[in-house]
Chain A
């Protein structure tokens, strides 16, 4: 029983990690309707930024979020403004996807050039030390990631539902032409949304860097699961991404223990396929969010 609880706890912690990476991805997809293949590399950039600031200034890695989040916001906003926006009226919308794939490759190679292929360990300031909560032991850093994921998801939902600019963002996603007629500057909305989506992963990177070593290809490791989470939760759904991430985290941890750690991904993707067959729009998906993907 104790082992089972420990596995559940591990799964939830892993889910929090996936959630914090996936939230920005699903936001950008839901609003801008662009699949950002460079999302994992945004995480990588954020982790290196955390590493450099932590070692360079000798501060706690979490404190670097004050700088890393705005840096990633600007990176995301610039991506939308100068990479995606010029392609908005391209004849084929897949061109935007190729552009983000290109950006991803460029960022990985830039990191290889600057930092080499070696891993960089961010000082972890006791965040890798264990804490006991009842019968389970967890890493301090994992708990903070989990808490941050909950706060981020709740905060984003409130922002989108309760603020004027949040409503404008949703309106633009639901009917861009009508939003423009209401006086909403759609280009600004897209730039802002891309920036916020990237800023989310910026927050994630400051929290993840003390737990995982940074490397130029670290992004691909997380983002593949993030894509599964986004599709599973329902494309563009923020609560969907959160609960999808927890589910994938649990499945990963349970199958790793009871079935075999080599087969974890097989089980994760197997369950992913079954859910998509039973509910093609994802757990929290609506017909509308699915219609974005079908032509």
Chain B
């Protein structure tokens, strides 16, 4: 479904990713784990069109998408839920969700998608008319995920969904991600919370200093010595 081939990418003259390749198949939950600054966010930004790679290519369903603008990538069925939630602070929760369904294809199904999303996040149903900035951090993360789902993406990408959240909320977030995956949406997660993510994923990649150093089934990575020493502290 998604194929990133030999991508070099970065900002201006600063190269972050070197020769990064990865593959996500339909229906999978794939994760990229790695330390802060390893290039995880840049990988997602490159796929979503916010950053254009210097070299290499990104293919989605066989189509080259690395030169597309972000809104064109959204049209292809890829949505990124950015790090740090990035809600529209002066809009209500309902308006935030409506913005998620901004592109034409998603807009026509907006009412139905909203119902489905609220089934998954009953709490948000009670908060629809509240300003997004008045919600707690955990609730804001739920709005960010719900907003991403409103686009009805085929591939949903999460950038650090557990960042800055209390442990109990982290559990809820991963619970929700599993539910999203069960609806048939393909998921790509980038995380520093290695244990939780590998538990939730089918396959994983380990990114270090802008290079992919490992890729394997998630449970194999959980048993991998390097992963255990470097990321799980065991």
Contacts and interface: CB of A to CB of B under 8 A. Distances in A.
A168 B89 contact: no
A185 to B, nearest CB: 5
Nearest to A183: B74
Interface stretch (A64-72, A173-181, A244-252): A173-181
B88 A185 contact: no
Interface in B102-142: 102-103, 107
A168 B103 CA distance: 11
Interface of B: 48, 50, 69-71, 74-75, 79-80, 82, 86-91, 95, 98-100, 102-103, 107, 147, 151
A168 B87 CA distance: 13
A170 B147 contact: no
Given A174-B90, A288-B90, A182 B99 contact: yes
Contact of A170 (B74, B75, B91): B91
Contacts of A184: 71, 99, 102
B42 to A, nearest CB: 14
Contacts of A164: 98, 102, 107
A181 B80 contact: yes
Given A167-B99, A181-B74, A174 B89 contact: yes
Given A174-B91, A175-B89, A183 B50 contact: no
B91 A167 contact: yes
Given A167-B95, A183-B71, A184-B71, A178 B50 contact: no
A228 to B, nearest CB: 25
Contacts of A170: 88, 90-91
A171 B70 contact: no
Contacts of A171: 88, 91, 99
A1 to B, nearest CB: 44
B86 A178 contact: yes
A182 B100 contact: yes
A55 interface: no
B190 to A, nearest CB: 14
A175 B71 CA distance: 15
Contacts of B70: 180-181, 183
A286 interface: yes
B90 A182 contact: no
Given A182-B74, A185-B69, A175 B87 contact: yes
A178 to B, nearest CB: 4
B74 A174 contact: no
A183 B103 contact: yes
A286 B131 CA distance: 14
Nearest to B95: A167
Nearest to B70: A180
